[in-house]
Structure 1
């Protein structure tokens, strides 16, 4: 019996990726999956740098790259534009801020069939965007349980299992019929659209698997300002995801906002009764000690004690920004219901 040949459509949202786009395209064009069975659909969100001109040079060299425009700029619009254009039996979401091993597509397609899965994905190895110590510290912080919670695809670097059933994966590889069954990505979600989509998929009975041995190199944000913006947006859209799902999502997504509240509320109450300030000071002290411990452990692992204060800062900025973002999102979406009144407008962090 002749085995079915699968065509793959890779959808790639991009915006101002001139620093990374060549490295990304080279890693994708060197895949061991038959090139005649791959189409690369790059959807540009009105880049203001040289990203599009770099992509155009690659289009002149190969016939399997399509460049589309996304005037609304954000990722979910780009994904949906690409999916509607895609001709493949399998659709893979790719991020241009990453490098992929040469067996990436072939491995995901193989496991998608082997496991009869709806979505499969790889582990993430977070690496520095440049050689500066701040960038190194950010990459380290985003790879630890204290930094990102129990996100399996980020922290299980040496997992011995061949595959693990999970709630989400980065840059998923989906069967085409998944989008016919549960719809496209939610365009209101500038961030967290993949989490919401995968939760929706799980709710519909879909199976999502992580392949730990397959690893992506993902470039972390290069400075604290971009780190703050990114995590603020992740937090901000958290309540809207809960509203759309009709239930709370994963516990790890609520801890930063509880941390912020545990610091701020006693400070406010100390106006009326000064001893409340000791609650905030105690929580801050405990947090600092735990953060210091994790930072020392990671600095020793990386053989660079100078990383300690920079990792502490990366932890604090990511936790505080996510917590503040979630609380702002709770006010906007749950109390004020701004998504019902007007189009959501959030500054794009990249």
Structure 2
């Protein structure tokens, strides 16, 4: 399919088993079109994780009459990832490996879209684990909702002490602003959704992913879809588990990049994906203004810092309590999270807010985006 030009701890993968007990869903394929699902995955230097992703994707249990293909766009990996993919592709006809010389997610996704043969497109991520009926539930949600894009809740399960704290903050509504994408029980319309599953025709109508964006290309695509009258649906029956960063510095760098690319979406559409995405930017601005007036007035900065410290304490307690309840961990595990969570939450907010201002300054001054903002971090 040619894509219209657009400028711009974990569940183990299940072995193949019986077909999923979902409807055949013939309405998702055009008359005479094969009922095929194209799973698309961009990657770069993922040698340690790519086999698990391929295993999970190829073991998906589909409704009767459906088949799948897996397209992986490799961004010139130099750690052995490409060799692993090529070796698997030689033995597995459902796997195709594509080149992504630009090395970023949006170009990798578009490379896959251009070669995809499926009536339905499903995006997967190398650092996410998927239930064996993930694709089947996506198909069912498309048929049930009539939406243009469907997905499941964005659920994080961290590895290591810092990874678990990062996942706990990621899942807490007092940290992420009540985003419905983190609500595991929510079923209904949303402004954006994790990863995504689309009827193929959506890309012919809306276009592919914006190749000028290193980050936030999925949010921008969903915003563009909504502005053209499309609907996005989240289903609590679609299960996957995202593995977040496992170190404070890596989290800060990731959030700085996410924040950096947010103003570019704002410039393109004249609005953010949602209001909550600009709150960290406003917080950093308030800190900066309060610091500037410090020689004259101590109260603004002191008041802001005291208020944020109180917030960090309350949010940390809420995140730790939620994490213990969600994982059925012993109550004593809460204290292992608590002392890390204030730093984790601050890294989320300050990283995103500072990155947003850096992106805004580069736009206003018409500066070239530096390599640090173009290289994907992990």
Q: TM-score, normalised by structure 1?
A: 0.91
Check 1:226–1:344 CA distance in 2 against 1; reply closer, same or farther (3 A cut): closer
| 1:327 correspondence with 2:357 | yes
Deviates further, 321-330 or 58-67 = 58-67
Contact 1:123 1:210 (C-alpha < 8 Å) held by counterparts: yes
In structure 2, the residue corresponding to 1:125 is in which secondary structure?
coil
| 1:37 correspondence with 2:67 | yes
Q: Give a deviation string over 1:73-113, Cα, whole Å, max 9, x none.
A: 10001011110111111111111110111111111112212
Q: Give a deviation string over 1:120-145, Cα, whole Å, max 9, x none.
A: 111122011x3x21111111111111
Contact 2:60 2:134 (C-alpha < 8 Å) held by counterparts: yes
Contact 1:237 1:329 (C-alpha < 8 Å) held by counterparts: yes
In structure 2, the residue corresponding to 1:214 is in which secondary structure?
coil
- Hey, what's the Cα distance between the residues in 2 that align with 1:203 and 1:36? 31
| 1:205 correspondence with 2:229 | yes
| 1:232 correspondence with 2:262 | no
Contact 2:256 2:356 (C-alpha < 8 Å) held by counterparts: yes
2:101 equivalent in structure 1? 71
Cα drift, residue 342 of structure 1: 10
Cα drift, residue 68 of structure 1: 1.0
Contact 2:152 2:236 (C-alpha < 8 Å) held by counterparts: yes
1:269 equivalent in structure 2? 293
Structure 2: 5+ residue stretches without partners = 1-24, 325-330
- Hey, what's the Cα distance between the residues in 2 that align with 1:297 and 1:206? 35
Check 1:296–1:61 CA distance in 2 against 1; reply closer, same or farther (3 A cut): same
Q: Give a deviation string over 1:32-88, Cα, whole Å, max 9, x none.
A: 116972110000112222322332343233210011121111000101111011111
Contact 1:17 1:97 (C-alpha < 8 Å) held by counterparts: no
In structure 1, the residue corresponding to 2:171 is in which secondary structure?
coil
Q: Give a deviation string over 1:246-270, Cα, whole Å, max 9, x none.
A: 2343111111011111111111122
Structure 1: 5+ residue stretches without partners = none
- Hey, what's the Cα distance between the residues in 1 that align with 2:208 and 2:294? 48
Q: Which runs of 4+ in 1 moved over 3 A?
A: 2-5, 341-345
CA RMSD of aligned residues (A): 2.1
Cα drift, residue 343 of structure 1: 10
- Hey, what's the Cα distance between the residues in 2 that align with 1:140 and 1:247? 29
| 1:175 correspondence with 2:205 | no
Q: TM-score, normalised by structure 2?
A: 0.84
Check 1:343–1:230 CA distance in 2 against 1; reply closer, same or farther (3 A cut): closer
1:285 equivalent in structure 2? 306
Cα drift, residue 292 of structure 1: 1.2
Check 1:342–1:264 CA distance in 2 against 1; reply closer, same or farther (3 A cut): closer
Contact 1:338 1:344 (C-alpha < 8 Å) held by counterparts: no
Deviates further, 43-52 or 310-319 = 43-52
In structure 2, the residue corresponding to 1:142 is in which secondary structure?
helix
2:9 equivalent in structure 1? none
- Hey, what's the Cα distance between the residues in 2 that align with 1:90 and 1:290? 43
Alignment match of 1:255 (pick from 264, 269, 279): 279
2:163 equivalent in structure 1? 135
